[in-house]
Structure 1
């Protein structure tokens, strides 16, 4: 490689590092969580965006319960035995169950991933990667209106339906995240037996088609979704809907879609907050 080419490559690498640090800083300011340097700046779905696992893969035959902080050190965990059918059936057990206030970080979930991660209360998922989403990547089920769930960095691929299922109460923040080949990035439960008002913030996210929607909320329960700094890749037809409103219920019936797009009340964003690249 010539000296001139080396200089160009060096400038390119420095630019990528600066963008990564800027994204991490934005996520830190928004969520107050610790952000690792493993948060990538490249668009979701590109081979350079996804980390390689460290050490041998870890089969999980029984749900791992987490209190406090668990650092997976970038090992890959996957379902085995009863957690290994790889299906989309409801009511599967998760690979990880987080107690109120727990932190799960630096983890790769391989296939099969069962029902991913379950948060029983407030939780932080930091630099967690789903290579092939099972039933859901993560479900949030805290019952307190003051519960806070934070997804900082990481990414998810191959979600036939939902990536994040928001069943509980409180606020969910997703920042510095990458998603590719998905149904919905975040869905407020449309037909849970117990319903809540839910607040959703999606910030600094790369979404790569195909996908259906970034957020689905229940307007009749007062849900809100704020979107900003969203980059959509490979969707020139703008088929991925940023925010969809539903009329939810607690009877188990299929919720009714009532509209979408920014309205200043429930779906809170401007056209400039969504960039199609």
Structure 2
């Protein structure tokens, strides 16, 4: 009985902590079942795709799209996995939409676009094209939740945060990448953006976990981040930039925790 009470109290603490990070509802329940706070966590195995589905034109939807772990890949106009900025996405999510249980294969084109608040649950990118997902909502109350899933082989960005609001990346894994999250450094319309990285596995090689614009009031919080295969700590956890709205290349102005823009401490990251 004593042991059971300790576990119950711990679970409540986890729920409270995740709620503070902006992770609520079913995602909280799932998170508490998968990994108690502070527990050692092996990198989850990638799922086996259950069949394939070619995507010749962007799939635009509201509500929920359950891919049933089929491998979706671009064909025709979407049959590219390069860095062309004009590419269209495989999926376009309207405000409040949920994309779940999808394996995105190659070609991946420009991945997923969220036009407002959205949830990406158990989505796996086998070979990231231009970007894995781009968040484009214009409301400060927009919330973009990435829960579970993973991404491999992103030559540049995994998640591109162009819009307003909060992005929460929870229980995700990434390997062989440039940047996990980048707040747009030179969009015509700029916003203060909130980014939360929680309970994720980062496997080298990679350049940085998150990049934010200090001059626009961005914040990035990192919690329980596990970095694998980077003994020399070359992957930068948080990079600060001076962003602009003129299309020019943003200027990097610093790295590491500063208590204002990059919010984490050494104890929030572990290395093996």
TM over 0.5: yes
Q: SS at the partner of 2:77?
A: helix
CA distance in 1, matches of 2:25, 2:132: 20
Q: Is the 8 A contact 1:77 1:107 kept in 2?
A: yes
CA distance in 2, matches of 1:115, 1:80: 13
* Greater length-normalized contact order (CA 8 Å, ≥ 6 residues apart): 1
How far the C-alpha of 1:39 sits from its partner, in A, is 7.2
CA distance in 2, matches of 1:76, 1:224: 34
Structure 1 gaps of 5+ residues are 1-20
Q: Is the 8 A contact 2:53 2:73 kept in 1?
A: yes
CA distance in 1, matches of 2:56, 2:17: 33
CA distance in 2, matches of 1:178, 1:34: 20
Q: 1:68 aligns with which of 57, 63, 88?
A: 63
How far the C-alpha of 1:85 sits from its partner, in A, is 2.1
Tell me how many residue pairs correspond in the alignment: 251
Q: TM-score, normalised by structure 1?
A: 0.86
Runs of 4+ in structure 1 off by over 2 angstroms are: 24-30, 33-43
Q: Which residue in 1 is equivalent to 2:26?
A: 34
Q: SS at the partner of 2:206?
A: strand
CA distance in 2, matches of 1:258, 1:58: 44
Q: 2:232 aligns with which of 234, 237, 260?
A: 237
CA distance in 2, matches of 1:266, 1:192: 19
Structure 2 gaps of 5+ residues are 1-10, 36-40
Q: Which residue in 1 is equivalent to 2:8?
A: none
Q: Which residue in 2 is equivalent to 1:50?
A: 46
How big is the alpha-carbon RMSD for the aligned residues of Structure 1 and Structure 2?
2.1
Q: Is the 8 A contact 2:63 2:98 kept in 1?
A: yes
Q: Is the 8 A contact 1:27 1:176 kept in 2?
A: no
How far the C-alpha of 1:86 sits from its partner, in A, is 1.9
Q: Determine whether 1:123 maps to 2:118.
A: yes
How far the C-alpha of 1:99 sits from its partner, in A, is 0.1
Rate the CA distance shift 1:42–1:233 in 2: closer, same or farther, 3 A. Answer: same
Rate the CA distance shift 1:176–1:125 in 2: closer, same or farther, 3 A. Answer: same
Q: Is the 8 A contact 1:145 1:169 kept in 2?
A: yes
CA distance in 2, matches of 1:160, 1:153: 21
Deviation string 1:229-253 (CA, Å, 9 cap, x unpaired) is: 0000000010000000000000000
**More deviation in 31-40 or 251-260?**
31-40
Rate the CA distance shift 1:62–1:155 in 2: closer, same or farther, 3 A. Answer: same
